[in-house]
Amino acid sequence: MQLPKNDYLIAPDPSAARLTRAVSGTDHTGAPVDVSVVEERPLTIYLNRQEIVTAMTIGDYPEYLALGFLRNQGMLGDSEDITGVDYDEELEVVVVRTASETTYEEKLQKKTRTSGCAVGTVFGDMMEGLDQVELPASELRTSWLYALAQRINTTPSLYLEAGAIHGTVLCQGDRPLVYMEDVGRHNAVDKIAGWMLSEGVLGGDKMLYTTGRLTSEMVIKAALMGIPVLASRSGFTAWGVEIARQVGMTCIGRMRGKRFVCLSGEERLVRDIDPDSVPEEAKKSRRKASE
């Protein structure tokens, strides 16, 4: 696939119907206020005839979410013959169809995956595929990090519009390509994984930027997508760092303004810009979202 040189392939649309709702309330002084809040709805994912999971999501890009979830859980291999992805908006169901039944259809029973940030689903299956991951050697220029942070943090988004949401961006060099949002950071990552699977895009020369914490689940998902660099505005968990070091991933967190911390994969970093030349992040560029 030919990737663009400048603009996003997919970017948030804060004005899209069904993603937010105006809710009336009062502020700290007792004055009436109308607040834009993010919608949350269930999406049930089937693999052929087997119900796999019900995810709580904002409802955009359901096909990508289903494909990416199944891919990141190891239920869809790179060579899988996908014959169809059918979304029923009324039933809020996505059915991913393959040419033959997979080994997971008899194995799994119904599970519920909430929007809670710490919840992981079928985590053991993800861990099983981790020992086969070989991330490619690549280069990460610090000038790219600063350019990406500035661009992403000023992109119109649901995060800026309503808060209570996570964003994840697939990047190449200093260019953001696909920007997905959802109530759970894992959903946003899975949407990107689904887009990559649909479009045949590989992750070896890409970076994943997220607003969420760099947990073990986030590191595993990025590794399974073949992406060697994971960066975040937020912090790390110890297990996330341990797994990143195990698979040879560059893991960068606490990215704000000119500051960041690298806890894994320092060898990829090329420090090609003086941090003192980078302006501090404007306080209003990304207001703190309601968690």
Q: Which helix (H) or strand (E) holds 94?
A: strand 93-98
Tens-digit pLDDT profile for residues 152-200: 989 999 888 877 889 999 999 999 999 999 998 899 999 999 999 999 9
pLDDT of residue 194: 96
Q: Which helix (H) or strand (E) holds 210?
A: strand 207-210
Segment of 50-54, 63-67, 123-127, 149-153 carrying the highest mean pLDDT: 63-67
Confidence band for 112, pLDDT divided at 50, 70 and 90 = very low
The domain over range 41-129 is classified in CATH as 3.50.50.60: no
Q: 122: alpha, beta or left, given left = phi > 0 and alpha = psi -120 to 50? A: left
Confidence band for 289, pLDDT divided at 50, 70 and 90 = very low
**CA gyration radius for the chain?**
19
Strand partners, 245: none
C-alpha to C-alpha distance for 164 and 27, rounded to whole angstroms: 18
Where in the chain are the domains?
41-129, 140-277
Closest CA to 252 of 87, 260, 275, 106: 260
Alpha carbon dihedral 121, 70, 85, 230, in 10-degree steps, equals 100
Q: 9: alpha, beta or left, given left = phi > 0 and alpha = psi -120 to 50? A: alpha
Looking at domain 140-277, which CATH architecture does it have? 3-Layer(aba) Sandwich (3.40)
pLDDT of residue 114: 46
- Would the CATH topology of 41-129 be identical to that of 140-277? no
CB 171 within 8 A of CB 177: yes
Q: What is the average per-residue pLDDT within 219-230?
A: 94
CB 208 within 8 A of CB 219: no
What predicted TM-score, i.e. pTM, was given to this entire model?
0.87
Closest CA to 250 of 262, 258, 234, 242: 262
CB 36 within 8 A of CB 20: yes
CB 57 within 8 A of CB 187: yes
- Indicate the average pLDDT of the chain: 86
Tens-digit pLDDT profile for residues 231-280: 999 999 999 999 999 999 999 999 988 999 999 999 999 999 999 998 88
Helices 62-72, 216-224: inter-axial angle, 10-degree rounding? 90
